[in-house]
Structure 1
Amino acid sequence: MAVTVRRFSCPPEDVFAALADPWVYPTWVVGASRLRAADRRYPEQGARLHHSIGVWPFVLNDETKVEEWDPPRRMVLTARTWPFGEERVQIEASPRGPGCVVRMEEHPVRGPVTLIPSMLADVILHVRNVETLRRLEWVARGLAGSRASASA
């Protein structure tokens, strides 16, 4: 199980505002190339995002399902990346001063990805998720700035 932690310079509420916006999903998720559709009730439990992974023309259509939504503390997703498999992704935010600490835990749960030795899978996922959390912070800060500008 890959665990990646990053200190963000924004509060958990900003992080969860970014997580709640399905249309920015491909902006912060490394490997996601586009969002094709989102269930109307996203990010509620059971809702799905219909996305694509890969780089054109090698793009696969798949989906991610919300398993748990508890803003501004925790979100759990099952991300499908068939034919490779499924991964469980848990994102938690804890306030720290004016910002927060975000912890992302990811591990393969089904399919061929479960055959990769766990030590190797953890390294690959951790490297990917360092960039994922960096992007998520940018999106969270950007959306917060947009909301602040709109209300001014």
Structure 2
Amino acid sequence: MTLTQRLIEATPDEVWDVLADGWLYPLWVVGASRMREVDAAWPKEGAEIHHSVGAWPALLDDTTIVEECVAGHRLRLTARTRPFGEAAVTLCLDPAGDQTLVTIREDVVGGPGRVVPRPVRAPLIRWRNTETLRRLAYLAERRV
């Protein structure tokens, strides 16, 4: 698993509010370009969001499903981008005073991406998730 962290100038509840709004997913997840549908139960276990990745007109429709949800603390997802594969993603929120240390652990778990050696794919995942956390911070810090 590739680990990426950022200290966000917002409380865990404020960061969680962004994660719990499935319609905001393409605003903070690098690669997601639009939302098509969000299950009413999001982000409870088993709930799905239906998103697209890429840029118009080359969009691929796919889903992300919640594998585990500990409200305000942890969200474990399986993010799909077929035909490229699936990723296991865990976001953890740890209080740090009036801030939040957000950790993303991610790795490819299915599809052609698994044949890319970990030393090659890990820096790419870390680069992507550094930007993802920057976007998440912008949203959480400005909702205060």
Structure-2-length-normalised TM-score:
0.97
**SS at structure 2 position matched to 1:135:** helix
Partner of residue 68, structure 1:
68
How many pairs does the alignment contain?
144
**SS at structure 2 position matched to 1:138:** helix
**SS at structure 1 position matched to 2:134:** helix
Q: Which amino acid aligns with 2:21?
A: D
Q: Distance in 1 between matches of 2:141 and 2:80?
A: 27
Q: Distance in 2 between matches of 1:66 and 1:106?
A: 14
**SS at structure 1 position matched to 2:92:** strand
Q: Distance in 2 between matches of 1:141 and 1:64?
A: 25
Larger helix fraction of residues:
1
Q: Give the number of the structure whose alpha-carbon radius of gyration is greater.
A: 1
Partner of residue 82, structure 2:
82
Gaps of 5+ in 2: none
Partner of residue 26, structure 1:
26
2:75 paired with 1:38: no
Gaps of 5+ in 1: 146-152
Q: Distance in 1 between matches of 2:7 and 2:103?
A: 9
Residues 131-150 of structure 1: per-residue CA shift (max 9 Å, x gap): 0001011111233x3xxxxx
Q: Contact 2:12/2:73 (CA < 8 Å) preserved in 1?
A: yes
Percent identity of the aligned residues?
A: 44
**SS at structure 2 position matched to 1:41:** coil
**SS at structure 2 position matched to 1:46:** coil
- Taking only aligned residues, the RMSD between alpha carbons, in angstroms, comes to 0.8
Q: Distance in 2 between matches of 1:60 and 1:73?
A: 30
Q: Distance in 2 between matches of 1:19 and 1:35?
A: 14
Deviation at 1:2, TM superposition (A): 1.3
Q: Which amino acid aligns with 2:68?
A: E
Q: Which amino acid aligns with 2:114?
A: T
Deviation at 1:101, TM superposition (A): 0.5
Partner of residue 116, structure 1:
116
